[in-house]
Every structure is written in C-alpha cells, then in structure tokens.
Amino acid sequence: MTKSPGKHPFALLNASYNTLRANPAALFPLVLLAFIQLLILEILFFAPRQPLSFFFAPIIIRTQGEVFMHYPFNFALIARWFYLLQMPMFVLLGTYFLGCTVSVIDAINNGKTVKMRSIFRKTSSRYLHLFVAALLMLGVLKVMIMGYDVLVKRAVQIRSTSGTYFLIKQAVLTGLPYFRLLMNVVVTTIFAFMIPLIVIDQKRVFPALIDNFRLLWGSFWFMFVSLILPAIVYLPVIMMKSNKHLFGTEVFPEVALVLIILGIVVTTLIETVQYTAITSYYLLKKESE
C-alpha cells in the first residue's frame, strides 16, 4: 500500500475510485441496504391497497386521515413516512452495512479474498458497538438540527422585505436541505474512524471514540474535504426536490417517488466512496504508526 493517497483529498478519492472499480464487491453491502430501502418504499407504496391495507389502513386513517389512502395524497404519505424511517434505519441497519463495507475494504487492502458471508458474520459480532456508535452520531446530528431550528425561529421574526436581512431570512428558511447535507458530512467527519476502529481493530465504543479523536487530530480538514467532495454529487437531487414546480411534482406526484429512488441510488454511491476513502486513509495512518 502506498502512502500517496494520504497526501491530498483528490488523490485519496482517486485511489478509492480505483479500488471500487477493481473490486465491485465493495459496493455489495450498501447496495443491499439500498435494496432494503427500496423494499420498504414498495411496502409503503402498496400500503393503501389490498392485502397490506388490512394492516395499514387503520393506521393511516387514524394518524393521517382517510384522504391519504387515495391518489395523489398517498404519495405525500410515502415521502413523509419514508423520511421518518431514515433515522431508525440508520441506527438499526446503516452503521452495520457501513461496517461491512469497511471490512470489505480492509480485506481488499490486505490482499485477502472477499467472502461476504464471513464479512457479515464478522461485522455482526460488532453490532452492539456499531449500534451505540450510530446513537452517538445521531445525537450530535440532532443537536445540530436543534441549533438550526433556533436559527429558523429567529429568521421568521425578520420583517424586512428587501436588503441584507431579507436575504439572510430567505437563505435560512430555504437552506435546510443543503444545511442537512453539510451537517451529515460534518458528523461523518467527526466520527470518521469510529467504524474502522470498531470493525477492524475490534475496539469497544468509548476506546474507539478516544482513538478516533486522536487520529482525527491534525487531519480533520483533510477528511472533511475528502468527504464533502463526493457529497456534492447529491446537490442536484436536493435542487430537484426543492424546486417541485420545475420538475412537475405538483402536477405528477409520481415524480416525488422517482426522486426518492434517485436519492437512494446517489446516497449509496456517495457513502461507498466516502467509507472506502475513510478506511483507506485509516489503514494508511495505522501503517505509518
């Protein structure tokens, strides 16, 4: 393993891309997670119809209203429920499959044959620690979101209809999707080495947290840039979701479902690149020590 990928974010990302191109097996864990998300999306799509309506109809009518059982409001319900499932899905499944990805990259970098059954079994033994790590990440993300909510409340109080304060108000009120993307990158950077430490070095959560900050010291901005560059690919998806009138979502509600599916696909690719880069850089630092 050469140390050149650790000298520049673009070099690290290029090395990660080459690793994925030469070893498509690294895509499998997060592709499987994407498949599970698409399956959940399909269940939500058919929830108002027989036979699933036998279970879901009373829940939908009681919590949302009978109108959401019918077109086009059922598509709004799909988007709403799928969004609400994102955080539980990250805690219960997300970090586990990210851990599997880390384990695959570790095997590739050590010249081992990638055996997915062995990878899943090895990562399963670390599930509890990954679960707690996910809660820590989610907790920090929630604090950031609460901070942004305070900012939104202050922005709503701005009465200016032009000028600098008006622009600030508009930026805050319309910038939440973009800020969420930034927050996700920041949180991923803060806990960048947690999953590799738990999966590769078999560390417990809190020793892994301490070592994570030790490894991150002096390389935070390097990792942040390395992670935000792939994340930028998600900006067109945000723009399409934020400008519904331009993409026919208000006229054709089905477009909203297409955008969710597109978001799943793009996120899968981004996270695979990010954690390939994280794991590669972690292994380089470990080798240099």
Band (pLDDT 50/70/90 cuts) for residue 3 is: very low
Task: With both helix axes pointing from N to C terminus, report the angle between 127-156 and 176-190 in degrees, rounded to the nearest 10.
Answer: 140
Q: How far apart are CA 30 and CA 142, in angstroms?
A: 24
Higher pLDDT, 289 or 132: 132
- Rounded to two decimals, the pTM is 0.90
CB 44 within 8 A of CB 77: yes
Of these ranges, 149-163, 168-182, 235-249, the one predicted with the greatest mean pLDDT is: 168-182
DSSP per position, 119-150: HHHHHHTTHHHHHHHHHHHHHHHHHHHHHHHH
Kindly report, residue by residue over 133-172, the tens digit of the pLDDT. Answer: 999 999 999 999 999 888 888 888 887 777 787 888 888 8
The yes-or-no verdict on residue 179 having pLDDT over 60 is yes
Q: How far apart are CA 100 and CA 109, in angstroms?
A: 14
Q: How far apart are CA 155 and CA 129, in angstroms?
A: 39
CB 99 within 8 A of CB 121: no
Kindly report, residue by residue over 77-133, the tens digit of the pLDDT. Answer: 898 999 999 999 999 999 999 999 999 999 999 888 889 999 999 999 999 999 999
Q: How far apart are CA 107 and CA 254, in angstroms?
A: 41
**What is the pLDDT at residue 220?**
94
Q: How far apart are CA 263 and CA 231, in angstroms?
A: 12
Which class for 167: exposed (0-12), middle (13-18), buried (19 or more C-beta within 10 A)?
Answer: exposed
